[in-house]
Structure 1
Amino acid sequence: MSLEKINIRNSILILIIVAAAATRFLHLGSFSSWTNFTPLGAMAMFGGAYFSDKVKAYAVPLITLFVSDLVVNYAYYQKIVLFYDGAFWVYLSFIFMVLVGTFIKKANFANVLIASVVTVFIHWIVSDIGAVLMVGSMYPKSFAGYLQALIGAIPFERNLLVSNLVYGLLMFGGFEYAKTKFPALSFNKQQAIQHS
């Protein structure tokens, strides 16, 4: 695979991730029963699955998350918030979600479904550590508090699972369809190794 084809492929992958992240801005400032219906889990899985360069696999989704967090936090707090309470745990869970994506070798419904469930579970158990440890937490700083946070997070994680499936099917399905129309988007790891 030529360097030009790799650059076209990477540019399209980045565009898909950024476009998905932009959907976070559709309902800024409003809370609803669909809070946490975001493209974040799907973005992480997608980046992990499709970028051959593992630095890009982690960097592109993480940078996109960070920039979109800046916009979302500004909309809610009317000020720039670089890192919010619990951000470490959310970003750590996001890194693990990208890792899950690296295990998707064939993009099909079953693999995206399994990865979606695994990434939601990771987000649930890791990010809720931050919910317990953050300043002013409504949960006691104990294992019992952590269990309370896990139970309280179930509706949000349900929304994340649905969004992982919806966005995952759109992103993975869209890219797989595009590969059938534009062969330059296809990737052969052996060819890429020969040209690196």
Structure 2
Amino acid sequence: MERKSNTRVLVLLLFIAVVIGLRMLAPLSPDFKLFANFSGLGAVAIFSGSYFKNKFSGYVLPILVLLLSDLGLALMMGESYVFYPGWYYTYIAFALMVLAAQILVKKVNVANVFVATLVGVLIHWIVSDFGMWLGFDTYPKTLAGFWECLVAAIPFELKFLYGTLVYSAIMFMGFEVLKSKFPSLKQHSAIA
């Protein structure tokens, strides 16, 4: 039973590693801004919240993925990509996305994953842009200023939504297909 559980964890981690790799390829694109928010990091949070029953792993992995990819982007693109003013709100948003998946995806199916993705992206939009609004002097520190910040973020959040939907579809469908072919990937313990 322990071997089956280890196999499941390794396969889940492999799915997450592929998404990290894809995010690290984005800066190599001739027009990085086109792909900047079209990433699978939101899908990693939804995926982890849905499949990792060990609460520690469910939260730590997406945060670690975010941190490692931020550090990688900082090395490739400059230090403004990591630990910018209000950066911790983005990390809080990802933790809340994991929580949303844990609550909304009791059973993995298209409807539950879709709803968790929409709720997760909404959480990301509000919480991370709250950090942007507070951390920078771009917008006035009023309710109208916060609304202006949210409106300005719509194009970025739409890319984040599209990326989260696409990567969620790939990750969830891929893992469910593997589970149907390899019964050892089905959950048998509280490890994964």
What's the TM-score once normalised by structure 2's chain length?
0.91
Aligned mates of 1:3, 1:147 — CA distance in 2: 50
Query: Any residues of structure 2 matched to 1:36-115 within 5 Å, and which?
Result: 36-77=37-78, 79=79, 83-103=83-103, 104-115=105-116
1:13 aligns with 2:12: yes
The alignment yields a C-alpha RMSD, in angstroms, of: 1.8
> Is the contact made by 2:26 and 2:36 (CA closer than 8 Å) also made in structure 1?
no
Residue 36 of structure 1: SS of its match in structure 2?
Answer: coil
Aligned mates of 2:158, 2:168 — CA distance in 1: 15
> Is the contact made by 1:112 and 1:165 (CA closer than 8 Å) also made in structure 2?
no
> Is the contact made by 1:131 and 1:139 (CA closer than 8 Å) also made in structure 2?
no
Q: CA deviation at 1:119?
A: 0.6
> Is the contact made by 2:125 and 2:150 (CA closer than 8 Å) also made in structure 1?
yes
Residue 138 of structure 1: SS of its match in structure 2?
Answer: coil
Q: CA deviation at 1:81?
A: 6.6
List runs of 5+ in structure 2 lacking aligned partners: none
Residue 27 of structure 2: SS of its match in structure 1?
Answer: coil
Query: Any residues of structure 2 matched to 1:1-196 within 5 Å, and which?
Result: 2-28=1-27, 30-77=31-78, 79=79, 83-103=83-103, 104-135=105-136, 137-188=137-188, 192=189
List runs of 5+ in structure 1 lacking aligned partners: none
Q: CA deviation at 1:156?
A: 1.0
Aligned mates of 2:135, 2:72 — CA distance in 1: 22
> Is the contact made by 1:74 and 1:80 (CA closer than 8 Å) also made in structure 2?
no
Q: CA deviation at 1:80?
A: 9.0
Letter in 2 for 1:53: N
Aligned mates of 1:144, 1:115 — CA distance in 2: 28
Residue 140 of structure 1: SS of its match in structure 2?
Answer: coil
Structure with the higher helix share, 1 or 2:
2
What's the TM-score once normalised by structure 1's chain length?
0.89
